[in-house]
Chains A and B, each alone.
Chain A
Amino acid sequence: DADVTQTPRNRITKTGKRIMLECSQTKGHDRMYWYRQDPGLGLRLIYYSFDVKDINKGEISDGYSVSRQAQAKFSLSLESAIPNQTALYFCATRGVEANTEAFFGQGTRLTVV
């Protein structure tokens, strides 16, 4: 089983719909992240959380919200999806030490039509 699991893997939704992307991890890490990837733009940080009660905005948080339900779970919501939110979304987790590796989920390909 993957250390970081994202569901769904693929989703097509209509403009204006609310959608939730879920992420769970078995690494025991406190730090969790949501990124989106668009061609040529690399991964951009949407939200991150360092603990269950900690939520922080990333560089592109507008139009998104998150919930850290437990140490192992971090979900991303699009309250009212719009076409320019079509992208590949990655969840990641990381330990506290400076040079530790980030582990990524397999990604969720979201298409908003």
Chain B
Amino acid sequence: RKEVEQDPGPFNVPEGATVAFNCTYSNSASQSFFWYRQDCRKEPKLLMSVYSSGNEDGRFTAQLNRASQYISLLIRDSKLSDSATYLCVVKGAAGNKLTFGGGTRVLVKP
């Protein structure tokens, strides 16, 4: 089983709609969680950290469920510019390694 798993998609989303997707992680001792965004053939960039109580940044909402070991990302009022691959990233308890999921591709269409 992979340490961090994501549905690869693609999620085809009408412009203005809401889309949500999850990421599961296997190590219950994982400490920190992030969502990164990656545009085609570009470097990943931090979208948002994920906090225990959940957090929101504009149209983006991230949630953490430690009991079921998953994090989620919800995008409201999707824009064409939201089309990208969203990478789930988990930091373990030991050391400072970041483990990446395979990414979820989102395509927002007019």
B43 touches which one: A45, A96, A105 (CB < 8 A)? A105
Assess the B43–A106 pair: CB atoms within 8 A: yes
Q: How large is the interface on B (under 10, 10 to 19, 20 to 34, 35 or more residues)?
A: 20 to 34
Assess the B98–A94 pair: CB atoms within 8 A: yes
Chain A 96-113 interface mask (CB, 8 Å, partner B; 1/0): 101101101111010000
Distance between Cα atoms of A43 and B14 in the complex (Å): 28
**12 more A-B contacts (CB under 8 A) besides A43-B44, A90-B43, A105-B43?**
A40-B8, A42-B4, A48-B97, A98-B31, A98-B32, A98-B91, A99-B32, A104-B45, A106-B43, A107-B42, A107-B43, A109-B41
Identify the B interface with A (CB < 8 A).
4, 6, 8, 31-32, 34, 41-46, 49, 87, 89, 91, 95-103
